[in-house]
Every structure is written in C-alpha cells, then in structure tokens.
Amino acid sequence: MGIKITTKNSIGEMPYPFIAQELIETNGYKKWVKGAHDLRVMVINETPFHSFLRIPPKGKLIANLSQGGRIKLIDPKELPLSIQRIIQSRIQKIGTL
C-alpha cells in the first residue's frame, strides 16, 4: 500500500484495490500557495460545488494530511478562468464515457 507517483507508461500491474489519478500539471495559482500542491474540485451535475488545495510539507510532493500535508478551502466561484476551463474539459471528457 501507499502512494506512488509515476508516469502513465510505467504503471504496470498494480495490486487490487488501487486508484490511478491523472496529474494535470500547471504552474498552479500563486494567489493561494507557492510550491507543490494539488487542487481538488468536487462536481455534482456538471457544477463544481466544493474545492480545496492539498499542500504537502516543504520539500515533499505527497500532500496527505496523515503525512503532514494541509488543506486550504477555495470557493469554486473564485477559481480562475484557466482552471475553470480545465474542469469543464474534464467534465466533457467524462461525460463521453
């Protein structure tokens, strides 16, 4: 168990159960945080209703709270247009499955 950060081409076989999440790299949004972080957005009926940043401890990439990471709540209405476009493109892609 644990968290593994890898490329799509090197995932290989994984023991069940597992979750694979795609990383969409951007320069982040320096208004809220500097350095490594990930943005989580929850969507219902194609509408973002909750979002937050997960921020890892300094010098690390894994932002789990149990490993010293922290959370910063972000109002989805305050997300910049560039991020809203990414969210909409993901919603459209998922809708085509």
In a domain, 83, yes or no: yes
Whether residue 16 is predicted with pLDDT greater than 80 in this model: the reply is no
Number of domain units in the chain = 1
Asked whether 63 and 56 are in contact (CB, 8 A), the reply is: yes
Q: What is residue 59's predicted lDDT score, i.e. its pLDDT? A: 85
Whether residue 39 is contained in a domain is answered as yes
Q: What is the pLDDT of residue 70?
A: 92
55 is a domain residue: yes
- Domain hosting 54: range is 24-95
Question: Is 51 part of any domain?
Answer: yes
Cβ contacts of residue 75 below 8 Å, gap of 6+? 51
Burial of residue 34 (number of CB atoms within 10 Å: 0-12, 13-18, 19+)? exposed
> For residue 35, is it within any domain?
yes
Q: Is residue 74 part of a domain?
A: yes
Band of pLDDT at residue 25, cut at 50, 70 and 90: low
Per the confidence metrics, is the pTM higher than 0.75? no
